[in-house]
């Protein structure tokens, strides 16, 4: 599942996302953090604006990234999905480095989990419609699919 995140909203490059995912965020460090005070969330991967990938949760373990969600009739997506966060926000274009590393990460995941194909990739907005909008209109799904199409096993 593809997500986007920035903390504070619209600001990139600081330590706050990593601090949130490791339960170390100083809630008083920014006025916006009061809105998410005590939020307990995590993701399997975070891809920063420069393409750096940080893994927070092993792929075989549950990460708390989807919340109230449903994919193809199956509820509680945290129980069976891999959450990939892109540092960004809905209306800000993602970087070339992010797309390149996202494609590489998905190919690696598909190599380890052959049952995962492009048809299993969804945005947070797809599994939580009306509640979530990420990765948003700035995310180029066709660019992602084009990056994956070099190997037909990911497209089945």
Q: Report how far Cα 38 is from the mean position of its chain's Cα atoms.
A: 20
**Measured CA distances, 99 to 29, 35, 50, 83, 148 (Å):** 30, 30, 10, 15, 11
0.85 exceeded by pTM: yes
Rounded CA separation 125/30 (Å):
26
The architecture of the domain spanning 2-154 is: 3-Layer(aba) Sandwich (3.40)
Q: Could you report the per-residue pLDDT of 16-52, keeping only the tens digit for each?
A: 999 999 999 999 999 999 999 989 999 999 999 999 9
Residue of 11, 35, 52, 85 marked active site: 85
52 catalytic residue (yes or no): no
Q: Could you report the per-residue pLDDT of 61-91, keeping only the tens digit for each?
A: 999 999 999 999 999 999 999 999 999 999 9
């Amino acid at each position: 599942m593809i997500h986007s995140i920035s903390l504070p909203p619209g600001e990139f490059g600081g330590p706050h996302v990593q601090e949130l995912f490791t339960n170390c965020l100083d809630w008083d460090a920014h006025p916006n953090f009061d809105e998410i005070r005590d939020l307990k969330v995590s993701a399997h991967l975070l891809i920063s604006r420069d393409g750096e990938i940080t893994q927070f949760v092993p792929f075989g373990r549950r990460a708390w990234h989807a919340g109230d969600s449903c994919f193809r009739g199956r509820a509680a997506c945290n129980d069976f999905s891999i959450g990939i966060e892109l540092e960004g926000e809905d209306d800000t274009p993602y970087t070339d480095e992010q797309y390149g590393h996202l494609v590489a990460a998905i190919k690696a995941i598909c190599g380890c989990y052959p049952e995962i194909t492009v048809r299993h990739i969804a945005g947070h907005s797809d599994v939580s419609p009306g509640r979530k909008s990420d990765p948003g209109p700035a995310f180029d799904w066709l660019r992602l699919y084009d990056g994956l199409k070099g190997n037909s096993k990911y497209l089945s």
